[in-house]
């Protein structure tokens, strides 16, 4: 049975409210071909409910297991994000603004599952690599790094000097 990630909007009185949700492995299984398969996060949702809308502040903290772009080994990466969402009650609003959603006035609850998932993915870095250790050394899989260096060495025999400046930029990151 799937855990609920819904907020009972229809039964909430006007004013401030807060909810907490735990996001675990079962959460990510609900999304086909998700690049995140495992994680342990907490979502804190603060709500300011008014008669025609609700303002949500969603803060998500924890870790997710993702694949390293360099060595292809899985590792845990911290996630911390805070996002705002406006929920309007009534007829649907255009999809122009992803930060505004609309729900029917009598909707029993607002399911935040999709928003949580999107916020988590948007909080991940574009380049996903193992963090360096305290000495500034890569913590990537040493065997894979050895294989990568072997292939780089082969390329360097036939290198084009015009690429040297670009390679310096890559190595600086």
% of residues, the chain, pLDDT over 70 = 90
Q: Which residues pair with 80 in a beta bridge?
A: 61
Determine whether 145 is exposed, middle or buried from the number of CB atoms within 10 Å of its CB (0-12, 13-18, 19+): middle
Task: Give the list of residues 6+ apart from residue 114 with CB closer than 8 angstroms, or none.
Answer: none
Q: Which residues pair with 77 in a beta bridge?
A: 64
| Residue range(s) defining the domain that contains residue 151 | 142-172
Q: Are residues 13 and 44 in the same domain?
A: yes
More confident residue, 20 or 173: 20
Instruction: Return d(Cα 110, Cα 112) in angstroms, integer.
Output: 6
Q: What is the pLDDT of residues 115-149, one digit of tens each?
A: 999 999 999 999 998 888 888 887 888 888 888 87
- Closest of 50, 51, 59 to residue 18, by C-alpha: 59
pLDDT of residue 162: 76
pTM for this one? 0.78
Instruction: Return d(Cα 132, Cα 129) in angstroms, integer.
Output: 9
Residue 12 within any structural domain of the chain: yes
Q: Are residues 119 and 147 in the same domain?
A: no
Residue 83 within any structural domain of the chain: yes
pLDDT of residue 51: 86
Q: Residue 161: pLDDT above 80?
A: no
Residue 28 within any structural domain of the chain: yes
Q: Are residues 97 and 150 in the same domain?
A: no
- Closest of 51, 40, 117 to residue 83, by C-alpha: 117
Q: Are residues 108 and 81 in the same domain?
A: yes
Residue 133 within any structural domain of the chain: no
pLDDT of residue 93: 53
Q: Are residues 80 and 46 in the same domain?
A: yes
> For residue 136, what is the DSSP state?
S
Q: Mean pLDDT over all residues of the chain?
A: 85
Q: Are residues 155 and 100 in the same domain?
A: no
Cα Rg of the chain, angstroms: 22
Q: Are residues 40 and 93 in the same domain?
A: yes
Q: Name the pLDDT band for 150 (thresholds 50, 70, 90).
A: confident
Per the structure, the count of domains in the chain is 2
Q: What is the pLDDT of residues 78-102, one digit of tens each?
A: 999 999 999 988 776 556 677 888 8
Residue 59 within any structural domain of the chain: yes
């Amino acid at each position: 049975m799937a855990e609920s990630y819904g907020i009972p909007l229809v039964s909430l009185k006007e004013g401030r409210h807060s909810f907490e949700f735990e996001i675990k492995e079962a959460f990510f299984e609900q999304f086909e071909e998700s690049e995140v398969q495992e994680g342990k996060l907490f979502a804190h949702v603060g709500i300011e409910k008014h008669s025609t809308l609700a303002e949500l502040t969603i803060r998500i903290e924890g870790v997710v297991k993702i694949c390293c772009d360099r060595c292809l080994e899985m590792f845990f990466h911290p996630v911390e994000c805070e996002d705002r969402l406006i929920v309007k009650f009534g007829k649907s609003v255009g999809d122009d603004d992803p930060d505004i959603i609309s729900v029917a006035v009598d909707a029993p609850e607002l399911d935040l599952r999709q928003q949580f998932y999107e916020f988590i993915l948007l909080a991940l870095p574009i380049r996903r690599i193992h963090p360096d250790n305290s000495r500034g050394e890569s913590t990537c899989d040493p065997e894979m790094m050895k294989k990568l260096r072997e292939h780089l060495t082969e390329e360097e025999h036939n290198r084009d000097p015009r690429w040297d400046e670009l390679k310096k930029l890559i190595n600086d990151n």
